[in-house]
Structure 1
Amino acid sequence: MDGKNRSDIYPGLEVDIILKKDQRSGKLTRGIVANLLTSSPYHSRGIKVRLEDGQVGRVAEIVEEDF
């Protein structure tokens, strides 16, 4: 699932984000969402979030959990 809809993303969710410095390479960083920084309900390049470790980037992928 991509991270373009704000309603799909919430604190505590595990996601892969693209950091600003990694936009050219497309390198993904995995982490847990601490808070959402984009206020609009949709963003074409991904909702901007802050991870629990303080890194900020746009959600590229929501990590699917198998229960």
Structure 2
Amino acid sequence: MEGTKRANIKIGAQVSIVLKQDQRSGDLTEGVVEKILTNSPNHPHGIKVRLDSGEVGRVKQIH
């Protein structure tokens, strides 16, 4: 499922995000969505979320 649409992402969902420092390498970090930070209905680079671990990044995959 696409990580560019806010409607696809729910709090508690298992996702893979790319952290700001990993944008060049594309390394993904897995976790559970704690908060959705992007207010717009979609974003071309992925919706920004905070994971329950405290890490912040843009959603690339929804599991």
Percent identity of equivalent pairs: 56
5+ residue gaps in structure 1?
Answer: none
C-alpha separation between the residues in 2 aligned to 1:53 and 1:29?
Answer: 11
C-alpha separation between the residues in 1 aligned to 2:2 and 2:60?
Answer: 6
5+ residue gaps in structure 2?
Answer: none
- State the Cα deviation string for residues 27-57 of structure 1 (Å, max 9, x = none): 0000000010000000000000000010000
Question: In structure 2, what is the equivalent of residue 7 of structure 1?
Answer: 7
* TM-score, L = length of structure 1: 0.92
Question: In structure 2, what is the equivalent of residue 53 of structure 1?
Answer: 53
* TM-score, L = length of structure 2: 0.98
C-alpha separation between the residues in 2 aligned to 1:10 and 1:36?
Answer: 8
Structure 1's consecutive aligned runs of 4 or more residues displaced over 4 angstroms after TM superposition are none
Give the total of aligned pairs: 63
Larger Rg: 1
Question: In structure 2, what is the equivalent of residue 23 of structure 1?
Answer: 23
C-alpha separation between the residues in 1 aligned to 2:2 and 2:28?
Answer: 13
